[in-house]
Amino acid sequence: MKKKILVANRGEIALRVIRAIQELGYSAVAVYESPDNEGLHIRTADEAVWLGDGPRCDYLDIEKVIKAAQKTGAEAIHPGYGFLAENPDFAKACEDNGIIFIGPPASVVRSLGDKVMARKIMAEAGIPMVPGTPSLAPGEAGMNVAVEFCQKHGYPVMLKATAGGGGRGIRQIDNEQQLQTEIPIARAEARAAFNNDAVFIEKLVLNPKHIEVQIMADQAGTTIHLGSRDCSIQRRNQKLIEIAPSLIPDQELVDQICRTAVKAAKAAGYVNAGTVEFLVDDDHNFYFMEINTRIQVEHTVTEMVTGIDIVRTQIKLALGKKLAFAQDDVQIRGYAIEVRINAEDPQNNFMPEGGKKIAVYRSPGGHGVRLDGFAYQGFTIPEAYDSLLVKLTVHGFSWNETVDRLRRCLNNFVIIGPKTTIPFYLRVIDNQEFRRGDFNTAFLTIHDYLLEYEDVTSECDKLARLIAEIHYRKQNSYAI
Ligand code: ADP
Ligand code: ADP
Ligand code: MG
């Protein structure tokens, strides 16, 4: 019988993983909740299991997902990103039920998912990092530690949720008064978002570049890296544009960061694919930030410049295969840029456009163009989930060629119905500092005019949108 692998996710990443499973000649099992009834992942997979009405609670229900694997006879589960991907209890439940979790061992997911624990492991291994506190004890004791740390190291500092992720639960603190007021707020937010109110403090790196390294490790103990990515273009600490490799001209520095990432992975006992994140300051110092124990949204840029299928490799490593290639086999060719095209209104504070129907969907193509999406013409975007519609990744020989290709693709992309972030990316691309590759995480704060989006839609597209919207309204008004 064909090997079966269950994909415990939805949207574009579910499709991405299903593709790799099917290319390997295995059978893909999808899971879904009711708001995803029209989802493409259900139709592309070989089988699908309905988990419940959701939203979100069923995708997050460890027991149900394990049952779905047992019922269909899946021997492995790929968790994608988000949902259960970094939940150590889920990885453990897979292990306990004899199901292969496509990721690192549960113990590694647990220790690295705790940012303070990860820092401790890395400090012991001699990995460079900014000074920081342990998780702050509740009440006055924790506050005193925080105040003392900030007096010693100076403001500004970063207050972070120990169990945080996705750019949430991170705030800059500029003075003691702010520290006093923000710690309780941060705790409450962390409890709501991560079911864990632990917070800690880290010295802030001023206007750093976010540089991360893709690593791959097999169960036999070989660990290699697939080069660097720059994810500095962020809004509210969330990545919007990702680039491979990093544009830092000092190649020796980049190599050193990549070697440090391998050392960090080894120190953590890492297995499978992961990402080691660093901050790099103006003086070329680099600091460990965290390790993400899963496939990342932006893995596509690394795949484009290395030619290596990371998800295929993830599956093979989880099934016990050794890495088929050595560090020296990994060659970086050209540049790749990925933009996250979200159904959001950049003119209205990036408000999600969930609930809208896609009246027209016309995607770009051509040399060096890759699309990872799940939306199609006629699809209504469920309101219950995140607003990522499609990732556009372009590959080019030089940085200039890659940016030119991205502009062409964004101009060719027509999505009518929901508003999208396409016009925002078109504005970013024409910024001179972006074109020079000269930016850090402060880019969108410095160039805040890019967020004050103007409607650059052509008259023709505006008319098409109007017609589509009228048509949509009409359709909506039919009585059954
Ligand atoms: P998450 O788990 O949400 O990804 P990270 O710890 O990776 O959180 O940080 C996300 C982003 O927040 C970074 O890419 C960076 O822009 C900013 N950031 C985090 N820590 C610091 C720091 N110490 N100094 C400056 N910026 C930081
Ligand atoms: P396959 O699944 O075809 O047997 P492997 O397990 O050998 O492939 O490798 C998994 C991924 O790594 C594939 O995307 C493949 O293209 C890539 N790869 C394999 N060998 C090399 C190599 N020598 N150099 C670079 N990439 C490689
Ligand atoms: Mg991070």
Residue nearest atom 14 of ligand 1, based on CA coordinates: 210
Place 169 in a pLDDT band, splitting at 50, 70 and 90: confident
| pLDDT at position 443 over 80 | yes
- Which residue lies with its CA nearest to atom 13 of ligand 1? 237
Q: Is 171 a catalytic residue?
A: no
Find the catalytic residue in 294, 340, 405, 427. Answer: 294
Q: Indicate if ligand 1 lies below 6 Å from the C-beta of 197.
A: no
The predicted pLDDT at position 90 comes to 98
Half-sphere exposure of 417 (CA within 13 A, CB side): 23
- 331 CB under 6 A from ligand 2? no
Specify the amino acid at residue 442. A
Mean pLDDT of 245-252: 97
For the CA of 303, the nearest atom of ligand 2: 14
What pLDDT score was predicted for residue 467? 72
**Gap between the terminal Cα atoms of the chain:** 46
| Residue 166 pLDDT level (bands cut at 50, 70, 90) | confident
Ligand 2 and 324: CB distance under 6 A: yes
> pLDDT band for position 463 (50/70/90)?
confident
DSSP classification of residue 132:
B
pLDDT tens per residue across span 112-158: 999 999 999 999 999 999 999 999 999 999 999 999 999 999 999 99
Whether pLDDT at 477 is above 80 = no
Instruction: List, as one string, the DSSP characters of 339-380.
Output: EEEESEEGGGTTEE-TT-B--EEE---STTEEEEE---TTPB
Ligand nearest to the CA of 441: 1
- Which tokens in the block code for residue 175? 């003075």
With a 6 A CB cut-off, is 312 part of the ligand 2 pocket?
Answer: yes
Which ligand places an atom closest to the C-alpha of 314?
Answer: 2
**How much is the pTM?**
0.92
Q: Given a cut of 60, is residue 473 above it in pLDDT? A: no
154 alpha carbon – ligand 3 mean position (Å) = 23
Task: Name the residue of 237, 285, 290, 443 whose CB sits within 8 Å of the most ligand 1 atoms, as the mutation to test its pocket.
Answer: 237
**303: helix, coil or strand?**
helix
Where does residue 65 fall: left (phi above 0), alpha (psi -120 to 50 degrees), or beta otherwise?
Answer: alpha
Provide the token pair at 403.
């940016």
d(CA 168, CA 209) in angstroms, rounded, equals 19
Q: Assess whether pLDDT exceeds 90 at residue 87.
A: yes
The whole-number average pLDDT for the span 5-20 is: 98
Residue 210, ligand 1, Cβ within 6 A: yes
Q: Looking at residues 344-350, what average pLDDT do you find?
A: 90
Domains of the chain (ranges, CATH numbers): 4-102 (3.40.50.20), 131-203 (3.30.1490.20), 209-459 (3.30.470.20)
Cβ(120) to ligand 2 under 6 A? no
Q: Is the pLDDT of residue 475 over 70?
A: no
pLDDT value at 93 more than 90:
yes
